């Protein structure tokens, strides 16, 4: 485990055991994050959610995306132009379903988040992180301090 895995901005984030994950997540969240599933487009919590705040890994709580980097992509899933910082996610080649894609996973929790595409808005850098709502939890701006994420205020 590298230094980032053990201590992220002064906070400890660890991946719980599979039994703990199963007991705390919904069936859909478990299917998406642990079994690399995909939720239905336009039928998920955050596809059209644009409140100010922070999105974290539903498994570990590690910070992943800021609302200021979220944009409307009309794909039916939450779309972001970049992660909160580059080390927050890792990338895996995905050749399933006869497609070549780049899978996006959380760094510490190793949760399947979604996929990265190069069809995002040019003015935002051209990338689209297409993320499953089931893999993230939203923390509203007004609750960041209370939930221990005051550095994102």
Catalytic residues, which ones?
130
**Cα–Cα distance, 35 to 95 (Å, whole number):** 15
Q: 3-state class of 21 per DSSP?
A: helix
CB-based contacts of 37, cutoff 8 Å, min separation 6? 28, 31, 112, 132, 134
**Cα–Cα distance, 61 to 21 (Å, whole number):** 12
Question: Do 55 and 64 form a contact (C-beta atoms < 8 A)?
Answer: yes
Per the structure block, which two tokens stand in for 118? Answer: 């190069």
**Cα–Cα distance, 151 to 99 (Å, whole number):** 39
**Cα–Cα distance, 21 to 58 (Å, whole number):** 10
């Amino acid at each position: 485990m590298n230094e980032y895995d053990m201590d992220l901005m002064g906070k400890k984030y660890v991946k719980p055991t599979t039994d703990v994950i199963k007991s705390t997540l919904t069936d859909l969240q478990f299917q998406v994050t642990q079994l690399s599933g995909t939720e239905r487009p336009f039928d998920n919590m955050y596809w059209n959610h644009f409140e100010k705040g922070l999105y974290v890994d539903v498994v570990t709580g590690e910070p992943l995306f800021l609302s200021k980097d979220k944009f409307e992509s009309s794909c039916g899933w939450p779309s972001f132009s970049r992660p909160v910082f580059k080390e927050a996610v890792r990338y895996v080649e995905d050749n399933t379903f006869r497609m070549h894609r780049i899978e996006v996973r959380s760094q510490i929790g190793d949760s399947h988040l979604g996929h990265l595409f190069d069809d995002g808005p040019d003015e935002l850098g051209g990338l689209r992180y297409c993320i499953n709502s089931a893999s993230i939890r939203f923390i509203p701006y007004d609750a960041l301090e209370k939930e221990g994420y005051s550095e994102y205020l």
